[in-house]
């Protein structure tokens, strides 16, 4: 069932021409200075797990996570499928903020995914990052308010780590991605409730049972 609902989103994005976006001129670039590496360890001591993974290790400024199989974040849309079993390493944040991390993984199985997340509860959250769909990495964003909606476009790289950033302002969250941590492409903006505090951090899942799906996160920064 979960393959059906995600496949629909992927095909819908293709039909709408979303997968051609990287060939268009960059229209929402947010230049940023390179963070001083590594910064993640300053946040790690303040973060906790929602749904602990199969294993996790902190090595200086790097977090290495192995997802459990059959884990996912999705709510109801299309076929009624609901899952709140993905792994989320988080800390509280209030008001307007910016959260950034450099993300990578050994993507190999359909719907392996990792990236950033903001969460209130099972029915109110969003995530952005890389998702493995039909043998390729895609940049994926999902907003959930009782029902999930998702969008995809080709990832910036099929092998290299990708910088992801989310910016919460008032009642919105805008997502960005970058290959160099300096020039950011706006991927999507969506509504998000003003409730405070929220939880923000990094997430990963292996929805179709991706065996030994490992994710790495560095340069975590909350501003």
Q: Which residues fall within 8 angstroms of residue 2, CB to CB, at 6 or more apart?
A: 72, 74, 79, 81, 83, 111, 207, 208
Residue 16 tokens read as 């709408």
Cα–Cα distance between 143 and 137 in angstroms, integer? 19
pLDDT by residue for the chain (223 residues), tens only, comes to 444 445 444 444 443 443 334 443 443 433 444 444 445 668 999 999 999 999 999 999 999 999 999 999 999 999 999 999 999 999 999 999 999 999 999 999 999 999 999 999 999 999 999 999 999 999 999 999 999 999 999 999 999 999 999 999 999 999 999 999 999 999 999 999 999 999 999 999 999 986 789 999 999 999 9
pTM: 0.83
Q: What angle do CA 48, 126, 73 make, to 5 degrees?
A: 70
Q: Phi first, then psi: what are they for 14, rounded to 5°?
A: -65, -45
Q: Which residues fall within 8 angstroms of residue 204, CB to CB, at 6 or more apart?
A: 53, 65, 67, 86, 87, 105, 113, 114, 115, 213, 215
The structural domains of the chain, ordered by start, are 2-222 (2.60.120.200)
The whole-number pLDDT of residue 209 equals 80
The whole-number pLDDT of residue 178 equals 98
Tell me whether residue 211 is exposed, middle or buried, using C-beta atoms within 10 angstroms of its C-beta: 0 to 12, 13 to 18, 19 or more.
exposed
Between the CA of residue 89 and those of 37, 118, 167, what are the distances in Å? 20, 11, 18
Cα–Cα distance between 186 and 182 in angstroms, integer? 13
């Amino acid at each position: 069932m979960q393959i059906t609902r995600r496949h629909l989103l992927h095909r819908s994005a293709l039909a709408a021409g979303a997968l051609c976006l990287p060939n268009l001129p960059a229209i929402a670039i947010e230049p940023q200075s390179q963070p001083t590496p590594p910064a993640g360890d300053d946040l790690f001591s303040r973060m906790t797990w929602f749904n602990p993974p199969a294993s996790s290790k902190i090595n200086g400024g790097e977090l290495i996570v192995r997802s459990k199989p059959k884990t996912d974040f999705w709510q109801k849309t299309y076929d009624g499928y609901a899952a709140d079993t993905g792994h989320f390493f988080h800390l509280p944040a209030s008001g307007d903020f910016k959260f950034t991390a450099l993300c990578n993984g050994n993507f190999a199985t359909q719907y392996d995914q990792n990236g950033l997340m903001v969460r209130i509860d099972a029915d109110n959250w969003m995530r952005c990052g890389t998702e493995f769909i039909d043998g390729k990495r895609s940049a994926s964003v999902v907003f959930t308010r009782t029902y999930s909606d998702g969008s995809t476009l080709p990832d910036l790289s099929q092998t290299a780590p990708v910088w992801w950033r989310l910016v919460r302002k008032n009642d919105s969250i805008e997502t960005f991605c970058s290959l160099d941590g300096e020039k950011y492409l706006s991927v999507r903006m969506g509504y998000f409730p003003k409730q405070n505090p929220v939880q923000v951090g990094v997430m990963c899942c292996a929805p179709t049972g991706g065996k030994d799906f490992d994710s790495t996160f560095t340069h975590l920064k909350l501003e």
